[in-house]
Amino acid sequence: MIGTQAQRLFIPVRIAVLTVSDTRSLAEDRSGRTLADRIVEAGHELAARDIVTDDRDRIRERVLSWSRDENIDVVITTGGTGFTGRDVTPEALEPIFEKRMDGFSEVFHRISYDKIGTSTIQSRATGGVVNATFVFVLPGSPGACKDAWDGILKPQLDYRHMPCNFVEIMPRLDEHLKRGGGKTA
């Protein structure tokens, strides 16, 4: 049965938001602000928020840095998922995914299709795990950020969500490292 279990206590998650843009400042960043507001409203901690240009190395370095920070459990990026020459967020991050989350993209597109129709194919939203940290790559529009948060991330980042959720598996994301079977990026 899908839903929440009242007997389970809410566990706040520490989430960092990275906006990828050549044209916005943090003050003008509506998509990042949308995510930050929703994160706090849901009871989670906004652990960090930043903006970087559409540069593969800068995007990758910020996400890798946050993924190594013990005070960050999840990284959400917004921007750079389209098809123009400057849209490089998936190229920056997918190569460092230890595990790719194909279902995130599929569900995001299903939700998005219901709102914007076939225009959803112009986004390359993706998700994965980097250094035992969940990483979600969202389009740069406030609407897409709302859809991804409200329809996928909010329930999956709530420990009370059943039948399963991301929070309950977070302690086990680095099991392969504890056994010596892998190394961090």
* pLDDT of 1 over the 70 cut: no
Distance, in Å, from the CA atom of 50 to the CA atom of 62, rounded to the nearest integer, reads 9
- Helix, strand, coil percentages (3-state) for the chain, rounded to 5, are 45, 20, 35
Percent of the chain with pLDDT over 70: 93
pLDDT at 73: 98
Q: What is the DSSP letter of 160?
A: T
Answer yes or no: are the C-beta atoms of 141 and 79 closer than 8 Å. no
This prediction has a pTM of 0.93
Q: What is the pLDDT of residues 66-116, one digit of tens each?
A: 999 999 999 999 999 999 999 999 999 999 999 999 999 999 999 999 999
Provide the H-helix boundaries in the chain.
30-41, 56-67, 89-93, 102-116, 142-148, 154-156, 166-169, 175-178
* pLDDT of 4 over the 80 cut: no
Q: What is the DSSP letter of 149?
A: I
User: Looking at the domain that runs over 11-171, which CATH code has it been given?
Assistant: 3.40.980.10
Q: What is the pLDDT of residues 145-162, one digit of tens each?
A: 999 999 999 999 999 999
Q: Which of 172, 88, 170, 100 is nearest to 129 (CA)?
A: 100
Q: What burial letters (b/e) apply to 44-58, b meaning 16+ CB within 10 Å?
A: beebbbebbebeeee
Backbone angles phi, psi at 138, to 5 degrees: -110, 155
